[in-house]
Structure 1
């Protein structure tokens, strides 16, 4: 089978804010590029040669975008292809409070503000553990992976084609630094585990983007192992990097953009997941045969024919035909009683058996 390699698509969604850092974050005219410029410290400028500006090219920069526009841009094509048999993954990444969960789930209070995951499954979301810290009062303290399995069946001539696919909808926990979140105690321990799993995820992405790497460390964490089929495999994959547009979060924004840029270098090989259901085909043919027998019975009745059977010949009927054939060859009878095609075939079979014995 010829496989077509496809690049992971990466989008950036900027959270609306009244205090947008216009002097530090700029968008290209085609809404596909974003530039980050850090202010230089005049006192340290002579001593500091660190990079202060970066430019990133994405598949789309979504700023002041409605939930409907987001779905049309990010998810609609992927879902359409999943319905015909291609696996798909949509993953939201970014710091806490940047809008990941809003992008994926939306606002439950307003229908038009619902996100990518349908409102009907927003209850698998209510079970997530939340806790308050400095960046977000309702921070998701876990990664959320929701998988939709799709099975479709199509009649293809006499066969039944089965299409099986799945859509992974992934809302990752926040990627912020611990010093920014102000977490302590149990929350600090959770943040450590979260950041560690995200670090392993970045290592996997870096390995996938390197064509010279043979080993991909999927087994380093539960998160990367679960995402094994979604990254670099048989799957259409889309990343939405959620960022904040405020100056205070520009370092996190830069980190998220770097991650999205690395994701763009990852390629996948999506294939059509289709099989032909032989058992289903047999059942469909048996149903068709039963219907045709009913049609023949109606036809015989309208033609005033005697009651006829179209079932396979019984042992008694076969013995009767055998007896008639022998009597016909001896001249005891002038003709053999035949009323259907099955009997004709059995008569020829009996003649062949007799000829082989001669």
Structure 2
């Protein structure tokens, strides 16, 4: 829960009450009729303004990151009104350890775990993207204008084509990747927040781990962590409608509405269709919502009366989301792991380097035999034998020595006046060629060695630079911290269960000493039930009001899109000749996989044949006609 400074300055009253021990949030309607009870929601954990970032991470997020390191998929996303602390929750203040958010804490957690691991190889890579006005942008790409496409694979699920990925070896490197992406993220000033996130941002970390199993075979497991910072959920009239802000808000609310519809369909249990395709956000989070992932949703709230409607909407959204049942599983031995590719490439490079070393050894020996046969014995064989092991270990020294020897032989030939001019020239050319071949071999070997070291350095192996005693102490501290967090969670669940049982027990054990006492107790119970009935009626009315608000927002978005469509059709009708328009319309087809209209290529290709089948598809999914009437 976070208080907005502008709301505090305006003097709005507080409408939220949080019970951290019971995990409950109560919200009071500032416009409520006398006697109306506050609405109470119960969650897995609740954190108030006095809670620390470390409390949230250790008690709630840490177990999920541990699962990702074991090969599960995990998602953490923050949802709430602009200005309530979503970005602070996810990122926090990087420079201050006690204020670091979920993302920097997760970085530290991941690489600390890797450094302490034994007999395991890790490969960690990071990607960063944003969904801005329903368009996907790669925040780490050089070309920020390029829009990326969503694809779907039957085996791996939904993915983003051409999304860049950076292999990182430590916390500093992955923080650098994060900072680079954050600089290009879409932000803007609104009435609710001077630096409001105007896009949904997803930082994706893929952790691949290779380990030898009990069967003696090497197994690879892959965990994927989605760290999601959603754009603010609020009505446009609170934002300040100027410039691009209304259009941004319309797209944001549409995608968040689609997210709400997916959650409602998942919780309903009767829905046969889950509308994942209604937005790019829900398609990307498909696994996180009812699929193969462990998911944490952090709902951020504003305590001021000014934010009552948005806070109540957020609480209802979170209350529905907590009932989603996911089906997580370990991703073991997938086919397309980058770690396996790296391991195979390292083995290949190592074999090439070893082969070059053996070649060097053979050349030295054959060179000595040739000199002995020719009677040129000018080389100190004893000295070479002593250095042979060193040369074998260090290719660079060997190649340098060979080059010096060839230069000496070349100088000896030039000084030998007994040789005929043509023979001398021929020998010199041979030596020049040998020197050039040696130089090329040296360059190739150096390139191979550099590539080998670079590839090997990207694979992280724990237990190399850590003092075992310190390592064990740190492990014990973390284990104790996890035990405390688990104990708090169990206490909270037990208290919630005890409250429910107390009410049931009171009803079962009621005995009355007199008729008057029975009347009093039953009257009290009647009043309590009547208050609950009134609360349910108020809830129904609130739901109806919320429905009207959502509908109004959708109508506003529809009107805006209709105006844009009318403008585009006006341009088409007045500036594009009819025959050209018909050519364009005939080339259009609907791609169901990507959920968008596309053009057929002018030249038929193997992927999209021109013909009756494609023409039938075009007739089946026709583009929108020009709107005849629309709200003005």
Instruction: Specify the alignment match of 1:68 in structure 2.
Output: 54
CA contact 1:160–1:276 (8 Å) conserved in 2 = no
Written as runs of structure 1 = structure 2, the 5 A alignment for 1:169-318 is 169-275=227-333
Q: Name the CA distance, whole Å, in 2 between partners of 1:276 and 1:220.
A: 29
Structure with greater contact order relative to length (CA < 8 Å, sep ≥ 6): 1
TM-score for the superposition, normalised by structure 1: 0.68
Q: State whether residues 94 and 101 of structure 2, in contact with CA within 8 Å, keep that contact through their aligned partners in structure 1.
A: no
In the alignment, which residue of structure 1 is the partner of 2:2?
15
Q: For the residues of structure 2 that align with 1:24 and 1:136, how far apart are their CA atoms?
A: 20
Residue of structure 1 equivalent to 2:85: 99
Cα 1:112–1:174, aligned 2, differ >3 Å: closer, same or farther? same
- The 2-side partners of 1:87 and 1:41 are apart by 43
- 1:59-105 Cα deviation digits (max 9, x unpaired): 11111221111211221000001101111000100000110001111
For residues 29 and 145 of structure 1, what CA distance do their matches in structure 2 show?
29
Alpha-carbon contact 2:265-2:274 (below 8 Å) kept: yes
Contact 1:88–1:168 (8 Å) recurs in 2: yes
> Deviation per CA, 1:12-49, whole angstroms, max 9, x where unpaired?
xx11568598862222362401111113466xx7xxx9
2:189 to 116, 129, 132: 132
2:543 alignment partner in structure 1: none
Q: What is the distance in 2 between the residues matched to 1:31 and 1:22?
A: 24
Q: Kindly state the Cα deviation for residue 159 of structure 1 after the two structures are TM-superposed.
A: 0.2
Map of 2:43 onto structure 1: 58
Aligned-residue offset at 1:122 = 3.4
* SS of alignment partner, residue 219 of structure 1: helix
Aligned residue for 1:351? none
Inter-CA distance 162–32: structure 2 relative to 1 (3 Å threshold): same
- Verify: 1:27 aligned to 2:18, yes or no: yes
Over the aligned positions, Cα root-mean-square deviation in angstroms equals 2.8
In structure 2, the residue matched to 1:315 is none
Q: Which one is further off, 23-32 or 182-191?
A: 23-32
- Residue of structure 2 equivalent to 1:312: none
Distance in 2 (CA, whole Å) between partners of 1:202 and 1:236 is 18
Q: Which digits, 9 at most, give the CA deviation of each residue in 1:104-130, with x for residues without a partner?
A: 111234233221112442332222111
Query: Does structure 2 conserve the Cα–Cα contact (< 8 Å) formed by 1:97 and 1:136?
Result: yes
**Structure 2: how far apart are the matches of 1:139 and 1:23?**
23
Match of 1:150 in 2: 207
Deviations 1:164-195 (A, max 9, x none): 11011111000011111122231111111111
Secondary structure (helix, strand or coil) at the match of 2:249 reads helix
Corresponding residue number in structure 2 for 1:166: 224
Equivalent position of 2:586 in the other structure: none
Q: Could you tell me whether the CA contact under 8 Å between 1:87 and 1:234 is conserved in 2?
A: yes
Residue aligning to 1:6: none
Structure 1 unaligned regions, length at least 5: 1-13, 287-358
Alpha-carbon distance, 1:251 to partner: 1.7
Checking the alignment, whether the CA contact within 8 Å between 1:40 and 1:52 is kept in structure 2 is: no
1:137-173 alpha-carbon deviations (Å, 9 max, x no partner)? 0001100011110100111142001111101111100
Is 1:89 matched with 2:75?
Answer: yes
SS in 2 for 1:150: strand
Distance 2:295 2:41 in 1: 19
If the length of structure 2 is used for normalisation, what is the TM-score?
A: 0.39
CA 1:23–1:108: 2 relative to 1, 3 Å: closer
Where structure 2 has 5 or more consecutive residues not aligned to the other structure, the ranges are 105-174, 348-632
Q: 1:276 to 1:154 in 2, by over 3 A?
A: farther
Q: Is the 8 A contact 2:28 2:37 kept in 1?
A: yes
- Whether contact under 8 Å (2:20, 2:46) holds in the other structure is no
Q: Which moved more, 1:246-255 or 1:78-87?
A: 246-255
Q: Counterpart of 1:136 in 2: which secondary structure?
A: coil
Structure 1 counterpart SS, 2:220: strand
Q: How many residues align?
A: 265
Q: For the Cα contact (< 8 Å) 2:20–2:45, is it kept in 1?
A: no
Give 1 or 2: higher helix fraction. 2
Q: SS in structure 2 opposite 1:257?
A: helix
Structure 1 163/41 Cα, relative in aligned 2: closer, same or farther at 3 Å?
closer
Match of 2:519 in 1: none
Distance 1:191 1:263, change over 3 A: same
CA deviations 1:226-278 (Å, max 9, x no partner) are 1112111010010000111222212211111110001011110001111289x
* SS class of match (2:299): strand
Once the 2 structures are TM-superposed, how far is the Cα of residue 211 of structure 1 from its aligned partner?
1.4
